[in-house]
Amino acid sequence: MGTADQHYVLERIQHFEQLTLTELEIVEQMNHSFEYTGNTYQSLRLLETLLKRVEQFIMSS
């Protein structure tokens, strides 16, 4: 979840972080579309990183 996402609410995030089956990745300035507004290259790099994290999660399950 990105801190620029309209659904980002710190209290909710803190609640989810306490759940044992939940793994969160908080990204500064990322919006709901997994983008950094006005920075296409950085957005693509972010997607690459997130996809690697998803793959790691799947492989460890």
Per residue in 16-32, pLDDT tens?
Answer: 888 877 778 889 999 99
Q: What is the pLDDT of residue 40?
A: 94
Q: Which residue has the tokens 């759940």?
A: 19
Q: Which residue has the tokens 């709901």?
A: 32
Q: Which residue has the higher pLDDT, 7 or 61?
A: 7
SS3 content of the chain, % helix, strand, coil (to 5): 50, 5, 50
**Alpha-carbon span 59 to 18, nearest angstrom:** 23
Q: Which residue has the higher pLDDT, 11 or 21?
A: 11
Cα–Cα distances in angstroms (integers) from residue 44 to residues 13, 33, 34, in the given order = 24, 12, 9
Q: What is the pLDDT of residue 30?
A: 92
Give the pLDDT band (50/70/90) at residue 34. Answer: confident
Q: What is the pLDDT of residue 22?
A: 73
One-letter amino acid of 3: T
